[in-house]
Structure formats: structure tokens, C-alpha cells
Chain A
């Protein structure tokens, strides 16, 4: 979801709690995240313009949230940096073979 030129925010910190953008487009407490949610976030990160609230241990009070937010934030941030590489690699994936059989 891109509103105007604003990048979609996937992770945010509010009231000393960590949140992620759930499938219903609502921010949900990060301790409710499932593997399906995570894969969806990964997919969006690799294919769209996204942003996350930067992790800072002081802004997240709950220790459980700290662990979750930090871990997921770092993972998604790492993927965001590799978005170009991923796009390139996907585009070239079996391209020759695909073209051959499309003729």
C-alpha cells in the first residue's frame, strides 16, 4: 500500500510498544506475529517501497517487545537493502528458458 509518495510503514513503535502491519492493514502488537505475517512482510519489503521505525531499546519498554522488534526490524532492514539484488535476480531467473518456451 503506497499512499502518494509516502512509503508503506511495516513496523512502528508507539507508546513504548512495538507494532507490525497486519494483513487487515491495522497495526498489531508485535507479540502477535505469526509466520504467515512474517512472510507477508518479507514479500512486501522485497517488492515495494517500505519503511520501519528505527529500533531503539529506550523507546521500547517491554523486554519481550524489545527482543521481537529488534530481531524482526534487523531482518527486514537487511532485506530492504537487498531489494535491488532480489529484483534483478528474480527477473533473470530462468529467463532464457522461459523465453525459449514462450515463442
Chain B
């Protein structure tokens, strides 16, 4: 088995945070991690002299490489060191094209530069940002041996999947003196000779790559001292102050995308502030639902915001007064004001929305695949097509008519303007009465919708892990609630006075410059959530914590590793056994989980894949923290330094307060059993 890391940076480029390469650190890394082969892969650059220095210094097979910035993601190209000159020339061409961060090259340019990619080891970013995906990945698939991922979770997922390329996990490290800790991300490959050809063959075979040397893909390296963790469920035991939390903190530091549920983080503190935070959290996680629920109102509001009833009224007034005035002056008309066009009104030009909607409905009936059979049972598709054609032709005719009317309207306007300049007669101000009436109807409908929305009602009930989340709607009861919902620091008192009249209220909100019009839809109805327990009662403080723990664990699915520090801190055993254990077990099937616990319900009943024990000893003047690990059924656990410890002893000490206490307790339980 060979251990490799083919993604190492040794030159600072525009893509890196500043660092200065330190050869001694690379030597140490190769030595301590026992690497058999490495590749130097800097962003769009290959320095042959530096490569020679590295090759001479490190005790591992070293391949020349480059990380190319494509327009669709990043790609590692690793070459055979026998063709250094050619590779240097090709890398130079890449470098010439990418001088700034925003530059990139296309797949075609890549093919042109490297001539025959089949001669290289090509590794795209696969489950790692910026990833090469979809059709682009498909277009270079023939050259790709494996794809880079950035966590053991993604590695396992890719290995298990029947489709997709072989995953590889590399460090992507910037080698420098300031490196806080040596990397832990490498890949083991079942390969004999470390030639580029042999590696290409092995890396393209999912059965030949592993996360660990001996444990296959059931383990991965968590610390650079070689400490392994199960890719499933790990339990970390230990007495107080032996470095358990410190261990979790380190895992959190060294790995990316970690979900870390800290000790007591879910425990109820101050009731009032906790409740506020709890509802805020709930509101946040449900915001998508609120968005969806209010989407209808949003559509209506977007339209209604453009309606100005007062302006409409003013226009009608202008029309009537100018008409009356013009009538009064009718006697004094002259040649100009006597022309028919002087008093001519414009053609109403409006898009026929009803017709457009009708056409799309008919089209939907023609094109629908899912319900084809039912549609065909009642309507003949041929007739539908004829209907569509006729409606579309009508729409065209109407559009053409509108175009003509627009043209004529333009002409009338011009002529009226010219006539107006020559006469003192009053010209009647035109008004689109159809639109005025339609606007009134719009506001009436809008008000009816808002009133419906403001009625008290339950709008959804959702069950989550035994709890029920109930969403209710109600009118806002005051300006303060509006302020909370809007999240904007502005006064709502005046607007709220109009709350009963949706249109007047909307105008008041629109008049407030502090508010974003596109966000106003949130201010018409109050949507609140409450959680009830299995029995339908309001949740207690403890139940709230339980709910949050379950939610947090569920949320871990979006991360690559889950760490939980003493979940028992605030929960009773029944809850831990029935809910927490089950959900942790389930999640550990898809990602590594580490649980620190003192609780036998969690520690002994959860069915861990791997057991770790933290111990603090004083050796000389020094405090030494040490981890022992092994399978839960092993008699002894081992430390990295070769020390051993009895599994039975530490398990009883950690979970049962020692063998004596356990025996005593067991006897007590037996004594009270069946004493009737």
C-alpha cells in the first residue's frame, strides 16, 4: 500500500494567501506522514528549478504537476518526470494565459496546450470547490483517472456510488514555516511501482484506493500523529479534564465543514431570552415556508404597488374640468380648435392578458405528458391544436391592431400639440377610464385577499421527530410587531393606524423610504410558529432543548463531520436512548461522528464503531494528554506510542463510575426487581 499526496503548493500565486515556501517543512511532512509519493501542484505555474531542489531533498517519489484554472473549475495535471522539458514548456503556456485572478482557460485551450492529455494523470476537483461537473467533466472523462474530494465523508460517498470517478483525498496544503499542523488528508493506493502509468491504472480503480493503510475505508487519519477515527461512529470516553473537549476542538480546527455541538450549548439558561432565541431560530429555519406561503401576496403586491388611486382620480377630474371648460368655450372656437383631431381622444392600447393566459393554458393541455391519458379521454388533441392556432392568430391580429393604434396615437398627439400651439381654446385632457376602473377593482381584490390572509387560522402542521410545528396566521397587533418582523429600525406607528385599510396601509408603508418595497409583503400578516410535544401541549424548557438537539444533529447532514460534546448534559436517559442514539447512529452511516460522553446510555448502548479514551498523566514535570483507541469489543486499547489500556476498566470507570459502583448498582437493581 502506498501513501500519496498529489496536491501540494510550494509557490505563492494570486490564488493563495501570502506564504513563503519552507523546504524543511515539506521534508518533515513527507517524513512524519510516511508519504511514498507527492506531486508539486502550484496554481498555473511550474518552476523546474524548485522542483529539482524538492526532488533532491525529500525522501519520496516526486512528480511535477500544475493546478490549472479552467473556466469551469480547477484541474490537477501531473506529468511523468521523464518529460520535464516538455511539461515546463506547456506549463509556461498556461502561465502566460493566466496572469490575473479573473483569467482562466477553456477545455479547448487545455487540449491545445497539452496536446495529448492521455499521457498525464488528470485529476479534476470533483467533490471540492471549484468543482468540474456535468458535461465538462463528461468531455474530459476519457483522460480522468480520479477526482479530488475534500473530506472523508465525500470520499466514502464517492467510493460507495456505482457511478462517478474514483475519489482521492489530498492535502491542498501551502508548505510554509507558519503551518500550524501538518496535513492529515492523504490517500492510500494499492500500487506496486510508483510510476505515473501504474498510478493512473490503480487510481482509476475504486477498489484500489483507501483512506487508511490497514482499515480500508472504515478509518481515516484525524491527527498527523497517525491517530485514526472510524468513518462511522466514534465514542470518546475519559474522566474529567483529560482532554476530551480539547480533542474535539482540535478536530474542529484541523478539518473543514465540521458541525460541532458544544457541551451545554443547548441547555436552557435564562427562560425569556432562551425562548426569544428559540423562536427566532425556528422562524429562521421556517423562512422558506413563509416565503412560499406569502408568494401569492407578493405577486399581487408587485402589481398593486403601481396603482395610484389618487392620481387616477386627479386624471378623471382633469378630464371632466377640461371638458366642461372646453364646452363653455365652444362658441369661441376657431379653425384650429374646430378640427376633429383637436378634441380627439387616444385609442386605448392594452395587452390582452386574458387571451395570453388562455393560450398558455391550451398549450399546457397540448404539451402535458403526465396527465396525457386523462386529457385525451375528454378532449381531442387535434381540436386543441386548432384552438391554439386560432387563439394565437387572434392574438397576432390584436397585437397588430395595437401596433396600428399606437402609431395613430402618436400621430394624434403630435397633431393635437401643434393645434394647441395655434389656438387659445381649451383642450380636453384625455383619460383611460377602463384602466381607472380596473385599478379600482384591483384594489378591491387586493383588500379582499389581505383581509382573508389576516383571518386567524392554522396554516400548516408539520411533524418533526415527535414534535409538531404549528404555523398560525393572525393580524399584527401593533407597531412593535411590525418593527420586529421588518427588521428595520423605523417607526411604524403612523402606518399601523391604517392597518385596517390594506390600500391606505400600503400607501403609508410605501411612503417610508427606510422600507424596501420588495420586502413589504411580510408586513401584512403575522405568521408565528409554536411547537407542541407528543401530547399536544406546549413544549417545556427541557423539551425545547431536546428539539434543538435533534434539529442540530439533523442539520449535520450538510457538513462533513459531526462532533457532539456530552449530549447527556441536559437530557434524560429515555430521550437519549430512544431518539438521540437512533438519530446519531443513522447519521454516522453517512459521515464520521465523534461523541464525547460519560453516560452509559449513550456510551454503551449506541453501538459505536470505534472507541477512544482520553487520559491525562503527569510524566516527570510534564502533563501528557494521550488518546487510546480500538474497537469497542477489543480487550485492550492502544495509543499511538504503543501503550495499552484495559477496555473493560476504562469503560466501567468512564460510564459506570468504576467496577465497584457498577456491581453495587447492579445488585441494587436486582434487589428491587420483582419485589411485589
Contacts and interface: CB of A to CB of B under 8 A. Distances in A.
Interface of A: 31, 33-35, 38-39, 42-43, 46, 63-68, 71-72, 74-75, 78-79, 82, 85-86, 88-90, 92-94, 96-98, 100-102
Given A46-B437, A86-B437, A38 B316 contact: yes
Contacts of A94: 296, 299-300, 303, 442, 445-446, 449
Contact of B327 (A34, A42, A64, A90): A64
Given A46-B437, A68-B324, A82-B434, 15 more contacts: A33-B324, A35-B313, A35-B316, A35-B317, A38-B320, A63-B330, A66-B327, A74-B345, A79-B434, A82-B348, A85-B354, A89-B438, A94-B300, A100-B296, A102-B452
A88 B354 contact: yes
B23 to A, nearest CB: 67
Contact of B316 (A39, A92, A102): A39
B59 interface: no
B515 interface: no
Contacts of B354: 85, 88-89, 92
Interface string B350-392: 0011100100000000000000000000000000000000000
Contacts of A102: 452
B643 interface: no
Contacts of A86: 434, 437-438
Interface in B440-476: 441-442, 445-446, 448-449, 452-453
A33 B320 contact: yes
B345 A64 contact: no
6 contacts: A38-B319, A66-B330, A75-B345, A82-B434, A88-B354, A101-B452
A27 B638 CA distance: 107
Contacts of B328: 64
A10 to B, nearest CB: 13
Given A86-B434, A101-B452, A65 B445 contact: no
B330 A97 contact: no
B662 to A, nearest CB: 59
A39 B314 CA distance: 12
Interface of B: 296-297, 299-300, 303, 313, 316-317, 319-321, 323-324, 326-328, 330-331, 333, 343, 345, 348, 352-354, 357, 428, 433-434, 436-438, 441-442, 445-446, 448-449, 452-453
Nearest to A70: B343
Contacts of B446: 94
Please classify the interface of chain A as helix (H, G, I), strand (E, B), loop, or mixed, using the class held by over half of its residues. helix
Nearest to A69: B327
Contacts of B348: 78, 82
Contacts of B297: 97, 101
B345 A31 contact: no
A66 B328 CA distance: 11
A67 B326 contact: yes
Contacts of A89: 353-354, 438
Contacts of B323: 67-68, 71-72
A84 to B, nearest CB: 10
A67 B453 contact: no
B445 A101 contact: no
B445 A98 contact: yes
A38 to B, nearest CB: 6
B343 A71 contact: yes
Nearest to A88: B354
B551 to A, nearest CB: 29
Contact of A98 (B313, B321, B331, B452): B452
Give 4 closest A-B pairs by Cβ, nearest first: A97-B296, A63-B330, A64-B327, A67-B327
B448 A93 contact: no
Contacts of B333: 63
A74 B326 CA distance: 16
A95 to B, nearest CB: 9
Contacts of A63: 327, 330-331, 333
A33 B324 CA distance: 8
A85 B449 CA distance: 22
Given A71-B428, A93-B441, A64 B343 contact: no
A46 B434 CA distance: 9
B437 A96 contact: no
B442 A93 contact: yes
Interface centre among B303, B319, B323 (most CB of A within 10 A): B323
Nearest to A90: B441
Nearest to B303: A94
B452 A68 contact: no
B442 A31 contact: no
